[in-house]
A and B are shown apart, each in its own frame.
Chain A
Amino acid sequence: MKIRTRMGLGAGIAALLALTGATAAIAADSGWRTNTASYLLTVDGCPVIQSGAPTYVSGIENPSCSGSIGVQAMYKLYPGSLTYTSSIDWDSVFARVDAPIVTHGKVYH
Chain B
Amino acid sequence: MPQRMLLATLVAVLSTAMMTGCAGVPETGMASDSVFAEALTEAREHGAGDAQIADLEAAVNDQEISIEAAREAARRTVQCMTDAGLDAGYVESTKYSGLVVPGYQVSLGTGGPEAESQIHACDVQEGFWVNMLYQTQPIAIQAKEDFAQQQEPVLRACLDAKGIDTAPEASGVDLVNLSLREARLDCLAEAGITSW
Contact = CB atoms under 8 A, between A and B. Distances in A.
Interface residues of B, number: 62
A22 B108 contact: no
B196 A47 contact: no
A5 B29 contact: yes
Interface in B28-86: 28-32, 35, 38-39, 74, 77
B119 A1 contact: no
Contact of A46 (B7, B24, B77, B196): B24
Contacts, number: 181
A11 B19 contact: yes
Interface stretch (B9-17, B149-157, B161-169): B9-17
B107 A82 contact: yes
Given A3-B141, A22-B10, A51-B6, A89 B29 contact: no
Nearest to A71: B195
B106 A84 contact: yes
A49 interface: yes
A89 B132 contact: no
A78 B107 CA distance: 13
Contacts of A88: 103, 123, 128, 131-132
Contacts of A2: 25, 29-30, 35
Interface in B170-196: 177, 180-181, 194-196
Contact of B17 (A47, A51, A86): A47
Interface string A64-91: 1111101000100000001111111111
B187 to A, nearest CB: 14
Interface of B: 1, 3, 6-7, 9-32, 35, 38-39, 74, 77, 91, 101, 103-109, 116, 119, 123, 127-128, 131-133, 135-138, 141, 144, 177, 180-181, 194-196
Interface of A: 1-13, 16-17, 19-20, 22, 32, 38, 40, 42, 44-49, 51, 53, 58, 60-68, 70, 74, 82-96
List the 9 shortest-distance A-B pairs measured between CB atoms, nearest first.
A45-B23, A87-B103, A9-B15, A47-B17, A66-B25, A66-B24, A90-B135, A13-B16, A91-B195
